[in-house]
Structure formats: C-alpha cells, structure tokens
Amino acid sequence: MPVRRTMPSVGRDSVAQHVAVIGAGIVGTATAIELLRDGHRVTLIEPGDPGGEQAASYGNGTLLNPSSVIPMSAPGLWRKVPGYLADPLGPLAIRWSYLPRLAPWLWRFLRAGATEARVAAVAHALRPLILDAPERHRRLAEEAGVGHLITRQGVLFVFPSRADFEAESLSWRIRAKNGVRWLELSEEELRQRVPVLDRRYKFALLVEANDQCRDPGAYVAALAQHALALGATRHRARATGFRIENRRLRAVRTNIGDIDCDKAVIAAGAWSKTLAAAAGDRVPLETERGYHVVIENPGIEPRYPIMPSDGKMACVMTPQGLRLAGQVELAGLDAAPNWERAEVLRKFARRVFPGLSEAAQVRRWMGHRPSTPDGLPCIGSASDCTDVLYAFGHGHVGLTAGAATARLVADLVGGRTPSIDLTPYAATRFR
C-alpha cells in the first residue's frame, strides 16, 4: 500500500523535486536542510529518533576537526595490529567469529594505507569535505537555534614526549601539506593550560582551528526539528529498497509501504550497504564500532578537548559530563555491545586525568561508524539509477564532514556542478 502523500506532488519537469532522505543522522538532517533551502520538497525516512542513540551521530567524540585528514590505515599498520589486539587497554578489538566476513574489507583496508602516497591521496580527497566544517556547522546550528552548541577552543593533542610526536611525523607532515597549522606547547606551557593532565604528558600540539559540537545528539535533533519547521515531512519507517522503472526512481520501499518521490538520498550511515546494493553498487561498507563513556560530575574540567596519543580516544566536556569516546571494534552490525571496551576507555581516562572522581556516575554507549576501507565516503549517483544519491561512509569524520556533504548532494539534486571533484567518492571505485 503506498503511503498517503501529505503534500501535492512536484512534477518532474519542475526544478523543485520531491526528495526522500533515508536516515536522520548528521548527514541526513543537514542534507534535508540544504535541499529545503534550494526549494525542494523533502521527506525524511528514519526508524528512530533523529540524533537518537541508534545513530553514530549521537555518541561520537564531538570534534569538528579540519585537521582530521589522516585515514585509519597507515603504512606498517599490519605490524602494529597484533600488539593492539594483545593489549587489554588497546584501541582495537576484533570479534574472531566475525573474521571470515570481515577479511575482504580488512584486506582492502590494510592496502588502502600501505604507502605514504596512498595516505596522502586520501588526505587530499578528505580535506575539501572538512576544511571549513566549523563555519558550516556554526551556520547550520545558528539557523536551527542551537548556535551555542558549536564552540571553539581548539583541540589539544598530547604526547608523553616529543619523540612520540616525531614517531607520528608522517601523519603530521601530511596534515601540514593540507594546510593544517598548530602550536607546539612545551611541558611547562602544557601544565599551565591543563593542570589536571597527568604529568607523564610532556609535549602537546594545539590545533586552534578545530571546533567542538558539545552535544551532537541534541544538535542533530535540532536540525531535524528545523527541517520539519521548513516544511519537511517525516516518516518513522525503515527503507528497504527502491521502485525503479526504466532507470527512473518512482518510490522508496519501506516497512510501512512505498513512499513516492523523484529522488532519494541514502544517508543511513553504517546501514547503507544493502540500500546501495539495491541501487546497483556493491560497496564494502563495514561498521567500526565505537564506544563512549560519560562521567557525570567528573571533578575535573579540562579547558580543551584532549586527544592523548597513547590512548587513541577523545576526552571532551559535554553538558552531561566528561565524555571519553574511541575504540574500534570489528564485530558487525548485529553483535551485542562488549562493555569491556567502554571500560577500557574509563580505565585509560584515569591514566590521563589522575584527579578523575572515583565516585562519579557513568553512562555507556556503543555506536556504528560507517566505514569504507579507504576512509573516504561515497557521495554521488547510484549506478542503476541517477535519481538515487549516496551520502554515506564517513567513518571517523562524519560529524565534521556531514555539512559539506549535504551541500554537495543538494548541488547534485539541483543539477549544478559541485564545487569540488567528486571522483574520489564514487561508489564505483570498489569494483
């Protein structure tokens, strides 16, 4: 049974289109707003609450980092993996029963960062998606009435020593080539700026151009609310596929019936793989499961978001308390959370902030990063039908890159040439 349309149909010949946006995380909600701004009619299809706990956009590290151009895969990573896996406080875990299904993705992942040239190419391709992210998000947040959620104090990358920073010189060199600038802080300067930090950290970089969205769940909920206020319709539904006739899109199929539309945007995060397959593209999309712990009343308040080099996690203040976000667990979409991974974050935080309150209440969360092997998203048209557009696969940087992605998708829907070359994001690169 088709779902009843709540607004008059928009003709195909008209510039304005009826666009179904599948998924209301940061990518879907920002895309909805950009499309509405261009005069299109928008229907949001989302089974949960926009910005709710099911979405990666809810529980991430909150960072809007133009400096995050470096993909996870790096030269020589395969040599470090056994050590990470053996370390109970390590940043990486693999559910062994999942390994047979994971293996093809893992192979592509390791190859994607096997040489400096490959890492540099990914960084070059990521940069335009995140370069002006703070400004884009500030504008969006202000428009949605939550401008106060976007704050700038910079992000502090802390190292036990300068030698530990130098051990990461490849990634910082590539960042520098992509326009990232930082201030080096000596031990004394670091101590003055963050007295609550453990004394084993003796060197730091401050990237002043990095921002924070203090409450990403509330931000995404506000963007969805704003889209509705601008005229979007919302269906609490799960998209299951498409009705495509003669290579033109007629409807998005959902668990509550077909929703007629002219165009559809797949922005369903880690759940986008089967939808892309229904539109003609086999994309090796995995979930890199991540965790967070929020420590309410932590007894300390670091002035900056902090990334400890030996912890591979974000330590950030949020309205709910100190959030520790990180971990990569490769275990698929369906396995139950392993809260031991969250405990790793909490334990490590005590090594970062010795004054952290023991008595504090703790909240835990697990979410799904939508990850391609090369760390680049899929943005562009589907192979079987150009009316279906991709906006997924942003991995570790989706909060940051969501705003620019939204603009690019709106350009495609409007028939405009996007401001940047979309070739690196084509889903067909995995053929």
Footprint of ligand FAD on this chain (CB under 6 A)?
A: 22-28, 45-48, 54-57, 60-63, 238-239, 267-271, 290, 292, 314, 325-326, 367, 369-370, 392, 394-400
Q: Which two tokens stand for residue 384?
A: 């079987």
In terms of CB distance, is 25 or 134 closer to ligand FAD? 25
User: What's the length of the chain?
Assistant: 431
Residue carrying structure tokens 């759940």: 271
Q: Report helix, strand or coil for 293.
A: strand
The widest CA-to-CA distance across the chain, in whole angstroms, is 68
Between 25 and 71, whose beta carbon lies closer to ligand FAD? 25
* DSSP reduced 3-state for 386: coil
CA separation for the pair 143, 348 (Å, rounded):
38
Closest to ligand FAD by CB, 68 vs 202, is 68
- β partners of residue 292: 325, 365
34-57 core/surface letters (b: 16 or more CB in 10 A; e: else): bbbebebbbbbbbbebbbbebbbb
Residue nearest to ligand FAD (CB): 398
Please answer whether residues 384 and 247 qualify as being in contact, where contact means their C-beta atoms are separated by less than 8 angstroms: yes
The two structure tokens encoding residue 209: 């151009």
Taking the least distance from each CB to ligand FAD, the nearer of 202 and 224 is: 224
Sign of CA dihedral 257, 261, 263, 267: negative
Q: How far is the CB of 163 from ligand FAD (least distance, A)?
A: 26
**Closer Cβ to ligand FAD, 74 or 224, answer by number:** 224
State which residue, 38 or 46, has the beta carbon closest to ligand FAD: 46
Which phi and psi angles does 146 have, rounded to 5°? -130, 40
Residue 276: which of 239, 301, 247, 310 has the closest Cα? 239
- Taking the complex as a whole, the smallest distance from the CB of residue 76 to ligand FAD amounts, in Å, to 24
CB of 15 to ligand FAD, least distance (A): 26
Q: Taking CA 421 as the corner, what is the angle to CA 41 and CA 68, rounded to the nearest 5 degrees?
A: 90
CB of 112 to ligand FAD, least distance (A): 17
Q: Residue 48 CB, nearest distance to ligand FAD (Å)?
A: 4
Least distance CB 142 / ligand FAD (angstroms): 19
* C-beta atoms surrounding 2 within 10 Å: 10
For residue 410, the minimal CB distance to ligand FAD (Å) is: 15
To the nearest whole angstrom, how small is the minimum distance from the Cβ of residue 429 to ligand FAD? 18
As a whole number of angstroms, the distance between CA 158 and CA 112 comes to 27
Question: Cβ(110)–Cβ(381) under 8 Å?
Answer: no
Shortest CB 252 distance to ligand FAD, Å = 9
Nearer to ligand FAD, 202 or 285 (CB): 285
Nearer to ligand FAD, 135 or 187 (CB): 135
User: What is the distance between the alpha carbons of residues 292 and 298, in angstroms, rounded to a whole number?
Assistant: 15
Distance CA 404, CA 31 (A): 9
Q: Minimum distance between the CB of residue 171 and ligand FAD, rounded to whole angstroms? A: 16
Nearer to ligand FAD, 271 or 353 (CB): 271
Name the token pair of 174: 């590539």
Least gap, CB of 276 to ligand FAD (angstroms): 11
Give the residue with the Cβ less far from ligand FAD, 117 or 336.
Answer: 336
Cβ burial 155-183 (10 Å sphere, 16+ → b, else e) = bbbbbeeeeebeebeeebebbeebebebe
Question: Residue 387 in contact with residue 280, Cβ under 8 Å?
Answer: no
Contact 357, 351 (CB under 8 A): no
When the beta carbons of 53 and 296 are compared against ligand FAD, the nearer one is: 53
